[in-house]
Amino acid sequence: MTIRRLAFCASDRPEAKEARLRLIEIYGDVDETEADAIVALGGDGFMLETLHRTMGVSKPIYGMNRGSVGFLMNDYKEEGLIERISAAERAGIHPLGMTAEDHRGVRFDALAINEVSLLRQTYQTAKLRLSIDGKVRMPELVCDGVLVATPAGSTAYNLSAHGPIIPLNAQILALTPISAFRPRRWRGALLPHNAKVTVEVLEHDKRPVSAVADNFEVRRVTTVEIAEMRDVTLVMLFDAGRSLEERVLAEQFSA
């Protein structure tokens, strides 16, 4: 991939803003619509923000870590940036589509790169009914919540909830409970990537639940449908030998 024109964006962290100004002095800066690649300076949260914001631009994103967590970012180096990006490995990911209906009957659509999660809003546990492709698989799950994670997101909230790490090219989604109370020993399920997950909130007036697609939240939901969006492909760039697939694999052997 030949790279000539770069667009730089940065998070609100001072070190990210300072890095952006230094890099613009060295490499120049063009509008994102005219760039060969977009360079995102920040942490993983800012990378997700940039991917969401630029979905309509269809440009590859090369992140450099100027934040706290950098699993999705490359190491920050100012020299040889054009050459690094030109030699970078591409990781194409498909986001999840969420359609949530709230207690008023209003429907909301959102995309999630990492996961769609449902979480209880009060001190009372949530009661959820889980269906896969229209068939009820769990009539009642009593829990703090549940999430559906992509392979790219399997090392994020999903891993913290004791869900499995999924290789990037596995074409699998993780369905992971959050603090399951009944059935207590249920640890979740691995689903084919084309499965459609439907979560119904039981007793939603008494036990309100919110649904979150990355950073987009809908409160007091009654039904949430989740499915992979195969017609949407987001491209991230990683330094040679440090691909996202390699990072996901290495994470399974970390302490």
Contact of 70 with 236, CB cutoff 8 Å: no
Taking every pair of Cα atoms in the chain, the longest distance, rounded to a whole number of angstroms, is: 59
Token pair listed for 204: 């939603």
The catalytic residue among 36, 44, 102, 214 is 44
Q: How far is CA 230 from CA 52, 99, 158, 171, in A?
A: 16, 16, 21, 11
Place of tokens 């009372």: 124
| Distance in angstroms (rounded) separating the CA atoms of residues 146 and 150 | 14
- Burial status of residue 60 (CB atoms within 10 A of its CB: 0-12, 13-18, 19 or more): buried
| Distance in angstroms (rounded) separating the CA atoms of residues 35 and 182 | 51
| Distance in angstroms (rounded) separating the CA atoms of residues 151 and 251 | 12
The total of other beta-carbon atoms located within 10 Å of residue 192's CB is: 11
Q: How far is CA 82 from CA 4, 104, 199, in A?
A: 7, 51, 45
Tell me whether residue 239 is one of the annotated catalytic residues.
no
Contact of 150 with 173, CB cutoff 8 Å: yes
The set of catalytic residues is 44
